[in-house]
Amino acid sequence: MKVAIYCRLSEEDKNKKFETDDSNSIQNQKSMLIQYVIEHDWELYNIYSDDDYTGADRKRPEFNRLLKDAENHKFDIILCKTQSRFTRELELVEKYIHGLFPLWGIRFISVVDNADTDNKGNKKSRQINGLVNEWYLEDMSENIKSVLTNRRKNGYHIGSFAPYGYKKDPDKKGHLIIDNEAAKVVREIFILFSKGYGKTYIARMLNDKGIPNPTEYKRLQGYKQANKHNSTLWKYFTISNILKNEVYIGNLVQGKYGSVSYKTKKNRPRPKSEWYKVCGVHEPIIERDLWERVQNLINQKNRPFEVGKIGLFAGKVRCINCGYTMRSSKTKKINYLKCSTKHIAKNSCIGSFISVAKLEKIIIDEINKFLSEFLDKDMLESNIHFCNDFEKERNQLISDIKLYQKKVDEYSKYIKQLYIDKIKGIISESDYISFSNEFTLNRERLKNIINENQKQLDDIEKNIKSGINQKETIEKYINLKNLNREIVEILIDYIYVGKRIKGTKEIPIEIHWNF
C-alpha cells in the first residue's frame, strides 16, 4: 500500500533558523507518521507539507497537489496526524473524505483522533470531528473580528503596514508615529496641490526627482511583503488617494472593507455608515487649514462632464503601450481620452490620445462591419463563442448537487437510526439529543448549499438558453448610428488605443469584444 503523508502547521514558526527550514512541529508530525507507516509495513510515496497555513485555507499549495495526485491515484492512503490537519471545514470533510476519496479508491487515516474511512463504524466520529473543527473556525473568526473591531473603535491602527508618511510605534502597539522622510513628501504633495498644480504634474515631479513611490519605499525599508512587481512610479491615483486620506490630519478611518466569510480571504466594500472613524489619535502631518483648502479644490475639480452620467468609455479604454486606463479630459468643449503615464515620468510612454467622438465613430463602424459579416454568414458557432465554460460549470454543479443531496439523505438516515438506538437503549437520551441536533444542523447546512448551487444552476441555464438565441440578440445592434453606455458594456470588454501614426490620421485601435 502506497501512503501519502500530509502535514500542516498554522502558526508562524519562531524557531526557524532559515525560511526554508521546516518547523519543529512539522518535523514532529513527519516523524510520528513515518513511524506509523513503518509499523504497518506500508510504502511511503511522498510527504506533502504546508507550513504557516490555516486549516480553512483552500489555496494551500501542497494540499492541492495532494488532492490532484489522489485523483490520479498515485497512492492508496492519505495519512495525517489529526483530521483537522487535513481540513477544518466540514464541507471539505464531506466533499473529499466521505465523497471523492472513496470514489478514487483512497483511504483516509488520521492517527491521533482515530479516523479511518475503512472503518465504517467511526464515520459519525469523523463527522462530529468535522463539525467541531467547523465551530472552532467560526468561533475563532468571530473572536478575532471582535478584538479587531474593538481596537478600531478605540483608535488603534490595524494593518500590516503603516500608511505612507507614518511608521508603527515600537513602544505602543497600534499607534502611529511620523516617518520624517516620507512625511516631507506628503507635505510637498499637499502644498503643491494647494498652489494649483495638478495630480499628474505632481507625480511627474516626484518621478523626475527619483523619489520612490509608497510601495517601493516600503520595499526599500526592508518590508518583504511589499510587492516587487508593482510599478516604482508615482501615478495620478496614488497622489489622489494621499490627498483624500484623513490619516494625515491625525484621524483613523478603518473597516472600509470586510471579509465575505471566515472561509475566504475575499473582501468587499462596506457601507460608509459601518466604517470606524476615530479623530485625533496620532500626530498630524498636515495642518487643518491646508487640509480644508485641498479638499475644497478636490471638490471643485471632481465635477464630471455630464453630472449624474457615467462617461461613454469610462474604464474601458487602455493605452496600447503601457496598458494603463486612459483618463478623460476636456478642451474647448471637446472630450478627449489620454494616457496620463506619459506625463508622470520621462520616456515612460508614447502618450496615446484620441477624441471621444472619433473613437465612438470607429467603434460604430467596426460593430456594423463585424455584425453585418456575421449575420450574412449565418454561422454563429464559427464566428462567436459566448460563455465557453457554461456547460462545464453546469455539469459540475449538477454533480455537486447530487453529492450533497446524497449526504442529506444520509444524515436523515443517521437521525432515524439514532432514534432507534435510543429506543433500544444503545445510547442515552442526552446523547440522542446532542447527536440529533448536530446532524440536523449539518443536514440543514447542506440543504442551504444545495439551494445556493441550484440558484447558480438556474442562472447558468438561462445563460445557455440566451446563448442559443445570440443571433437574434445581436441583430438589435446592427446599423448603429450612436453608442450609449449600455451598448458599450454589453459588447465591449476593453479597447486599446495608440498614438496617431506620423504623416497620417490613423490611430491604432484594438477592440476586445465580450464574445
Give mean pLDDT, residues 345-365: 80
- Dist. CA 268–CA 123, nearest whole Å: 37
The rounded distance, in Å, linking the Cα atoms of 477 and 494 is 18
Q: Is the pLDDT of residue 500 over 70?
A: yes
pLDDT of 198-216, one tens digit each? 888 888 888 888 899 998 8
Label the pairing between strands 252-254 and 492-497. unpaired
pLDDT at 476: 62
Q: Using CA atoms, how far apart are residues 59 and 53, in angstroms rounded to an integer?
A: 9
Helix (H) or strand (E) holding 115: strand 115-116
Domain 154-301 has CATH 3.40.50.2300: no
- Assess whether pLDDT exceeds 80 at residue 387: no
- The pLDDT tens digits of the residues spanning 105-123 come to 999 998 877 788 887 766 6
Whether the CB-CB separation of 199 and 239 falls below 8 Å is answered with yes
pLDDT at position 239 is 92
Cell of 36: 506509523
Q: What is the DSSP letter of 344?
A: T
Q: What is the percent of the chain where pLDDT is above 90? A: 17
Contacts of 118 (CB under 8 A, 6+ apart): 107
The residues facing 78 across adjacent strands are 4, 108
The model's pTM: 0.43
User: Residue 3: helix, strand or coil by DSSP?
Assistant: strand
Question: Across residues 118-133, what is the average pLDDT?
Answer: 64
Average pLDDT over residues 181-209: 87
Question: Residue written as cell 483648502?
Answer: 293
Mean pLDDT, residues 498-507? 84
pLDDT band at 291 (very low <50, low <70, confident <90, very high): very high
Closest C-alpha among 383, 397, 390, 514 to residue 462: 390
Place 307 in a pLDDT band, splitting at 50, 70 and 90.
very low
Q: Which residue has cell 490611430?
A: 507
Average pLDDT score over residue span 188-201? 85
| pLDDT over 80 (residue 398) | yes
Q: Select the more confidently predicted residue: 143 or 11.
A: 143
* Strands 107-110 and 115-116, bridge-based pairing: antiparallel
Cell of 22: 521546516
Please give the mean pLDDT across all residues of the chain. Answer: 78
Residue of 257, 256, 258, 239 lying closest to 248 (CA atoms): 239
Query: In the CATH scheme, what architecture does the domain 2-134 have?
Result: 3-Layer(aba) Sandwich (3.40)
Mean pLDDT calculated for residue range 304-319: 63
C-alpha to C-alpha distance for 502 and 142, rounded to whole angstroms: 62
Cα dist. 442→95, 140, 453 in Å? 13, 19, 17
Residue 308, pLDDT score: 39
Residues in the chain, how many?
A: 515
What percentage of the chain has pLDDT greater than the value 70?
77
Residues 21-33: pLDDT tens digits?
555 577 778 888 8
- Asked if pLDDT for residue 477 goes beyond 90, the answer is no
pLDDT score for 187: 93
Q: What is the pLDDT of residue 244?
A: 92
Q: What are phi and psi of 118, to 5 degrees?
A: -80, -15
Segment 394-414 mean pLDDT:
85
Whole-number Å distance between alpha carbons of 45 and 74: 8
pLDDT at 108: 92
Rounded-to-5 percentages of helix, strand, coil across the chain? 50, 15, 35
Query: Is pLDDT at 125 greater than 90 in this prediction?
Result: no
pLDDT at 332: 77
Q: Find, among 33, 57, 54, the residue nearest to 112 by Cα.
A: 33
C-alpha cell at 381: 458557432
pLDDT range class, residue 283, cuts 50, 70, 90: very high
pLDDT for 346 equals 60
- Indicate the pLDDT class of residue 474, thresholds 50, 70 and 90: low
Q: Find the angle CA(60)-CA(65)-CA(70) to the nearest 5 degrees.
A: 125
Cα torsion 218, 220, 225, 228 to 10°: value is 110
Q: Report how far residue 421's alpha carbon sits from residue 415's, in angstroms, rounded to the nearest whole number.
A: 10
SS3 of 87, please?
Answer: coil
Residues 59-80: pLDDT tens digits?
889 999 999 999 999 999 999 9
- Predicted confidence (pLDDT) per residue in 211-248, tens digit: 999 988 988 887 765 555 456 788 888 999 999 999 99
What pLDDT was estimated at residue 17?
46
More confident residue, 500 or 190: 190
Q: Is 56 exposed, middle or buried (0-12, 13-18, 19+ CB in 10 A)?
A: buried
